Amino acid sequence: MRYLISLFFLLTAPAAFACGADSNCPVGDRHYRIVMPEGHDGSTPVGALIWSHGYKGSAAGVMRNNGLRRMVSDAGLALIAAQGVNGTWDLPYGPRTFDSTGAAEFAYFDAVIADATAHHHIDPDRIIASGFSAGGMMVWNLACSHPERFAGFIPISGTFWLKPPETCASPVQSIVHIHGDRDRTVPLTGRPIGETKQGEVQEALALYQTFGGFGDARAAQTDTLACENRANPTGDVLEFCLFEGGHSFSTRHLAYGIQRLKDAGQI
């Protein structure tokens, strides 16, 4: 009888402890959360958007954003919510992480991708990264220093701390940067924070324009975004889009970024 009870729990454990939108998916001493697009039957792999939360945010909080979940699902993507340690990201030149190389975070994102592709039917060639505020800072660091696991990037209202790296790592990827034109929390020209400062958005864009061989800007306009679009000979895009307002996030703006990556053939 004891053997049968033990066998029952072994057979049912994966279902009982399955992770998802409402429970953590452990990776080492950290975790993430995931939700598949509505109607996904598991027959084919799907692309995914890995979202990095803002300062003091959480993966659980991201999953409570029904508008974000619905928009990502409508785009045909899984939503993966990454989790910073104590709600923060370990980034170079940060106020408490000035001497960091970002290596701990890069290893964490590698672990998340490996786990998600192994257990949740995620297509490893169609994973993009996005995030807001401090999460946008995380995305820029991934794009420049650890791009090989991603198909594109959408940083929103965040850039490098202090300054960009001297150069970026290959391969070149598409980036759509979105920012409020009157953002006072993460201003376009940066601001001092303790002994460091937030970087200037234009410095990050200029670095990546040179690194990726992106050409002259072409103006584009949507109902809420004024964009400068650049492309390189291999079809990657580098876009800088402003909306009227401050430090805020809109699923419409993220949807635009996703669509631009789709138009560029990234996902």
What is the spatial distance between Cα 112 and Cα 98, in angstroms, rounded to a whole number?
25
Assign 30 a pLDDT band (cuts: 50, 70, 90): very high
109-131 residue pLDDT tens: 999 999 999 999 999 999 999 99
| Helix, strand, coil content of the chain in percent (nearest 5) | 30, 25, 45
**What is the tally of structural domains in the chain?**
1
Whether 13 is in a domain gets the answer: no
Assign 157 a pLDDT band (cuts: 50, 70, 90): very high
Whether 8 is in a domain gets the answer: no
Least confident interval from 41-50, 86-95, 202-211? 41-50
What pLDDT score was predicted for residue 43?
86
What would the mean pLDDT of 144-150 be, rounded to a whole number?
A: 98
Q: Which pair of structure tokens corresponds to residue 96?
A: 């408490």
- 153 - beta bridge partners? 129, 175
For the cut 80, the answer to whether the pLDDT of residue 232 exceeds it is yes
Whether 197 is in a domain gets the answer: yes
For the cut 60, the answer to whether the pLDDT of residue 7 exceeds it is no
Q: Which pair of structure tokens corresponds to residue 15?
A: 């279902």
Whether 227 is in a domain gets the answer: yes
Whether 12 is in a domain gets the answer: no
Whether 221 is in a domain gets the answer: yes
For the cut 50, the answer to whether the pLDDT of residue 84 exceeds it is yes
What would the mean pLDDT of 45-50 be, rounded to a whole number?
A: 98
What would the mean pLDDT of 150-171 be, rounded to a whole number?
A: 98
Q: The domain that contains 64 carries what CATH number?
A: 3.40.50.1820
Whether 34 is in a domain gets the answer: yes
Is the pTM higher than 0.75? yes
For the cut 70, the answer to whether the pLDDT of residue 14 exceeds it is no
E-state strands within the chain = 25-27, 30-35, 46-52, 78-82, 122-132, 152-156, 174-180, 192-193, 196-197, 218-221, 226-231, 237-243
Please state, for a pLDDT cut of 70, what percent of the chain lies above it: 94
What would the mean pLDDT of 70-83 be, rounded to a whole number?
A: 98
Whether 232 is in a domain gets the answer: yes
Domain encompassing residue 52: 21-40+47-263
For the cut 60, the answer to whether the pLDDT of residue 16 exceeds it is no
Assign 9 a pLDDT band (cuts: 50, 70, 90): very low
What would the mean pLDDT of 156-165 be, rounded to a whole number?
A: 98
The DSSP-derived string for 221-234 is E-SS-EEEEEE-TT
